Structure 1
Amino acid sequence: MAASLRFNPTSIPSLYPISTYKSFTPVRCGPRDNRGPLVKGRILSTEAIQAIQSLKRAQRNSSSTATVTPLPSLSRLIKSDLLAALRELLRQDQCALAVHVLSTVRSEYPPPDLSLYADVVVALARNHLKDEIDELIEEIRSIECDDEKALVRLIKGVIGAGRKESTVRICGLMKENGVGSRKRVGEYVVKVLSKGLRRLGEVDLALEVEREFGELSRVNSDKLTIY
């Protein structure tokens, strides 16, 4: 009887029921810091990494043996992987390998952008590979005008390396493709080219550039392409 009259708190319903609702703090998605956007071409795919490794391996084999090991073909790579590999090799100052990749870009995805030639020339000049600059410029068959920033970088790179013949060749290619007659280039292009020719001792050609190119050096609306 005493046991049945014992107070049991669990038998009394709670006056303040416990809510089963759980609150959540919302999370907003956004930038974690002040980092800028990823640079295009710096994210390497597995294929691009393997291509770079195979090129370096072939280069090491050639330097360690008496026989020359040919560099592997890269024609299987898509354009984005080739460009990423090219930029990474230039970043590492692997100029000979970068030239090989550029040759593949030219054969598989013609015509290559002038900016690629400018990037390679700048790297070659930085590493004092002057003869290689001449060989690269010799491969260019045509220059038409659109990307004047790339054209200026190319001219500055060649002039900075002291390559007179290559500078004269660039000037000749521009004339062959109508620059100064039916096509126009900006005043800054004319100024850089003329100043560089004078620096290399080609005063007469500099005057000719100023006279012929300068007449139409207002606004450039044509397209610069390499074939």
Structure 2
Amino acid sequence: MASSTLHQSLAFLLKPVNPIYTTRPRPTTTTTYVAIRCGPRSNRGPLMKGRILSIEAINAIQTLKRAHKSSSSTTPDYSPLLSRLIKSDLLATLRELLRQDHCALALHAFSAVRSEYHNPDLSLYADVAAALARNRMVEDLDRLICDLETDCGRGGIQCDDKGLIRLIKAVIGADRRESTVRIYEMMKRSGWGSTFEADEYVVKVLSKGLRRLGEESLAVEVKGLSRSNLEKLRV
């Protein structure tokens, strides 16, 4: 009897276990994170790569836009706000307004630049001129060239500045004949083509532009500067 019971116990212990009751190892789970980039919330593109605006510049831009939007007939006085900005923030504000085509506000910022820091770079004039031409604000473009002539005085324009050709292209592209002639007169007062050599590419762009705007005699005069440069090299 005892041996029979022992035999049954051993048989139970040695009986294979049903695999469904065995403990299976838990599968390894892997969590993958997918970066989601939200697009701009308006039609205006994001800030250009490499352009970082300070908190002061961002606040100034937002304040200018709110004041401009809320104003009805009278133009608000933006000078107290702009005068508080340091030069780097003021220039960043100006360039960002130009990039967003808020040219009316950009002109106020540029006026602050001219009053705070005399004789702005020619490249800055070129940036403003390109934005005004792009938005067909041709009368403001003409006033800008007059302001440039005032800033340059009798000394003429910096003809070796890289912004010169961009300025010329912007004015010619906007079909501003008088402003184009005014720029050429400033270049001559600087000694362009006489005291120092005239750049061939500038000669080509300026002469073609003057001819297209109906200034044939001045176009021939500018074209002659290229030939005179070649004669000087031969001598």
Counterpart of 2:224 in structure 1 is 211
Question: Deviation digits for residues 180-217 of structure 1, max 9, x if unmatched?
Answer: 22123310001100000001000001111122465348
- CA root-mean-square deviation: 2.0
User: Residues 97 and 66 from structure 1, CA distance in 2 versus in 1: closer, same or farther, beyond 3 angstroms?
Assistant: closer
Which aligned pairs between 1:1-227 and structure 2 lie closer than 5 A? 38-39=49-50, 42-62=51-71, 65-73=72-80, 74-141=82-149, 142=152, 143-147=157-161, 149-212=162-225, 215-216=228-229
State the Cα deviation string for residues 47-71 of structure 1 (Å, max 9, x = none).
Answer: 1112112211221232xx3333222
| Poorly superposed stretches of 4+, deviation over 6 Å | none
Q: Deviations over 1:86-142 (max 9, x none)?
A: 111111100111111112112212221111111111111111111111010110123
Relative to structure 1, is the Cα distance of residues 100 and 56 closer, same or farther in structure 2, using a 3 angstrom cutoff? same
Identity between Structure 1 and Structure 2 (%): 62
What is the DSSP-based 3-state SS (H/G/I as helix, E as strand, rest coil) of the residue aligned with 2:79? coil
Which residue is equivalent to 1:17?
A: none
Secondary structure (helix, strand or coil) at the match of 1:181 reads coil
Contact 2:122 2:158 in 1 (8 A): no
The total of aligned residue pairs comes to: 177
TM-score where L is the length of structure 1: 0.72
Q: Which has the higher helix share?
A: 2
Q: For the structure 1 residues 48 and 189, does the alpha-carbon distance in structure 2 shift closer, same or farther, using more than 3 Å as the test?
A: same
Residue in structure 2 matched with residue 30 of structure 1 by the alignment = none
User: After superposition, what is the alpha-carbon deviation per residue over 1:152-207, rounded to whole angstroms, capped at 9, x for unaligned?
Assistant: 11111100100000000000000112112212331000110000000100000111
Which runs of no fewer than 5 residues in structure 1 stay unpaired? 1-36, 219-227
Letter of the structure 1 residue corresponding to residue 218 of structure 2 = L
Q: Which protein has the larger Cα radius of gyration, Structure 1 or Structure 2?
A: 2
TM-score (norm 2): 0.70
